[in-house]
Structure 1
Amino acid sequence: MPSVFSVADIKYILDPTLKSWILQGHTNLGTPFQVIDVRDSDYVGGHIINSLHIESNKFKNEESAETLSNLLKKLRENGQNTVVFHCMLSQQRGPSSAMRFLRYLNERTSASNDQDEISFIENMKVCVLRGGFGKWQQEYGEDPQLTENYAKDVWKYGY
């Protein structure tokens, strides 16, 4: 089976788009979504509300197959066919984790005999938050509807 996804399938979304999704509880298409925060030691000072924290190294170490499998399982259980990856700036770890996830989805569609799984994967949308958490916290850090555990003093000198 040919690959379903390529790097061209990673879409960037802007803060106001994600903000509206969070406030309405779904994407603009009415579908559930999941934010994946892949920051590592810089996972301090707050995070996007209801985001799932998976350190970027878990996407590229010996545990990556298990991490990717568990992530897909969780997304399927929750019907979340849109995922938004981000790191601090969404320049390296966020996009590379999104790409690793897309490669895994391609592997699953080739290996799976489960039509429900294949259908779910074929309808996935993988996004990266432009500007990452650094930009997000500047705009929405102090809004408890959008950001959890925000520590303003962590950000007083920028990121």
Structure 2
Amino acid sequence: MVTPGNILYSAAAVRRMLGLSKSAQVTIREFFKVVWVWVKGQRPTFISKRLFKQHFAEWRKAQSRALQVTQRLDRPNTYTVRNESNGTTYPLETRSNGVFCTCDDFNNQLEFWGRGCCKHGYAVLAHLGFGSLRDYMTAKKVIPLRRASEPAAIYAA
């Protein structure tokens, strides 16, 4: 079962971050700002939660490079992302507040944090020329135009 903790702080993530084999025995314990990591046969260490979060996004970006993105002509802001290695296809929709997918990874992120971006979303962002979800959302921010009848002070902040 996927939880808010194990989606980010997993043994698989530790193995990837430390360059360990898939069979390496890893024990992890979550603390306030760090994760205690013990690999069998090695001394325990701490890894910051910030590094886990960076790895979380970078891993999905790396996985997205192998995916094929096709823009759907029948519906604006809609894309199809295909993974040739396993034959799966997911529809995605771009909105000003993010890229929305139907995959389990995205739905888990949405449930746990109210936002997110899966590998399919990163593939669409790259297709659109964006390096991150933050870049996309910043570019899509709508700044209201000031009407001549309104004081400029309400727009300064």
TM-score (norm 2): 0.27
TM-score (norm 1): 0.27
Larger Rg: 2
- Hey, which of these two has a bigger chunk of helix by percent? 1
State the structure with bigger RCO (CA 8 A, min sep 6), 1 or 2.
1
